[in-house]
Each structure stands twice: as structure tokens, then as C-alpha cells.
Amino acid sequence: MATKAAYKRLSKEYVVMQKEPPPFVWAAPDEKDILTWNYIIHGPPDSPFAGGEYHGVLLFPSEYPFKPPGIKMYTPSGRFQPDKKICFSMSDFHPGSWNPAWSVATILTGLVSFMLSDEMTTGSVTTSDAEKRLYATRSHPWNVEQRKFRDAFPEYCTPTLRALPNMGEKERGKPDTPPAASPSVTATTTLSPLSAITPTGAAKNIGAVRPRKVSRGVSGPAAAAGDASRGWAATWCSVIWEKWRWGVLIAFAVMVSRITSSA
């Protein structure tokens, strides 16, 4: 049975876990015993455990946070013996190195780091990277078949692997929120009628072509006629101006020549 200090501390840590879960892990206390926490670890990218889902348990003593928890991993991983206590610096194998400031998030982050190492200890096994990848592909189907997993995480008992709240997006420099839509694709953008195809192969018009703007709100044939008339007028004005410009220049040259001759 948890002491008042342990109950208060673990309750606070669950609130923190919900607000700021560490990368690649998720954990929650058992509904009937706050000293027992089930956790899920997702294998980090670029590791032999990528795509894997690993279920385990943290067994806190009633004296927590002044004593460390026992740690087990149920899911076969190729790194730890299933359902056997794991020996590492934050577990009850090393009470002398335990720091009461460490939390559930700290413990699980340390467990992920230890999982990625090759250090051999009590509760670990030796396998190749290829074997670890094979275990990773089998992990989620294996978990879904286990009653412990289904009772602890019913929301993760889906046909395909479901992402945890924090999949390390911040650590990889990705934004927390989806990027804004590109300025080139907006509600007023002209889209081709064939820019989307339905599953049956029929064309689907997902955007309306914007009409060309004309002056004074005129549209249709009248607008086309007006455009044509303005085009012809502009052409004639250009021709007349060219002819008059040269005429003026010639007349000016004649006048200058006569003035020069009379002088």
C-alpha cells in the first residue's frame, strides 16, 4: 500500500506525464494500485527497434520516491528477457545510486537509452540487429493478444500501431503543429477541373476557375467586343502618332535649314 508521500508524488507525476510525455514513451498507473505503472515504449527511428511497441511495468515500493522501482518488459524485444526484472542504475538492483529527484519520465527515458545500448546485465539477452528488427515487426500483434496489454491500454489495441503522444517530433526539429497551407494553394486559386480523380476514375472539379476581370462589371460578348474595339483604337492611335511624329520632325528640320540658309 502506498504511503501518503508516494501517493502524492505519483499522482503529480501522472499529471506531468499527461501534459509533457517524454519522447517515445507513455505510462499510466493501474486503476487499482498506484504503485504499479504500465508503460509503452516505441522504438526510436534509426534503431533496430524502429516500428516496435514494447509493453512493460514499473513496480514502485511504498517508500517511493526514496527507493527505486523494479522494472520489467513483457514484450519480446531481443534486448531484455520477457517478464524478468531489468538491472540498470535506476532500478531496485541499485538502491545506492538512486536519486529521489528522478521521476517516472526520467526512469523511462533512461530505460530507452539503456535499451539502445549493448551493455549486458541481469535481465538482458544478446541478439543481432536483424533479430531485433524481426521482434519489432511482431511486437504490436503480440501485445494485442495479451490480456495485460488489453487491460492496461485498450485504446492502443488497434489493428495497426498507434502513435504515442510524443514521438520525438521536437527532438527531430519538427513543428508541434501542422504547417500552414502553402500560399499558392488557397480558396481563390485557379484549379484544373482534372486536379482530383474519384476512385471510379471520373473527373472531380475541386476548384472554380476565376473569371477574368473586366472594367465596369461588363462580362460576356460585350466585354469581348469592348476589348476588341479598344485594341483597334489603340493600334490606329499608334499609327497616327508615328506618322505625325515623323512629319513634325521633318517640318522642324526644314525650318532650321531655311533659317540657317537665310543667315
Catalytic residues: 87
CA angle 49, 51, 53 (to 5 degrees): 80
Q: Beta-strand (E) ranges in 64-189? A: 70-73
Distance CA 169, CA 44 (A): 11
Concatenating the DSSP letter of every residue in 2-26 gives --HHHHHHHHHHHHHHHHSPPTTEE
Closest CA to 209 of 188, 183, 186, 182: 188
Residue-wise over 122-134: b if at least 16 C-beta within 10 A, else e? Answer: ebbeebeeeebbb
Distance CA 223, CA 239 (A): 25
Q: What are phi and psi of 43, to 5 degrees?
A: -60, 125
Report which residue type is found at 206.
Answer: I
* Radius of gyration of the chain measured on its C-alpha atoms: 38
Listing from the earlier edge strand, what are the strands of the sheet with 70-73?
25-29, 36-42, 53-59, 70-73
Distance CA 50, CA 73 (A): 17
Task: State how beta strands 25-29 and 70-73 pair.
Answer: unpaired
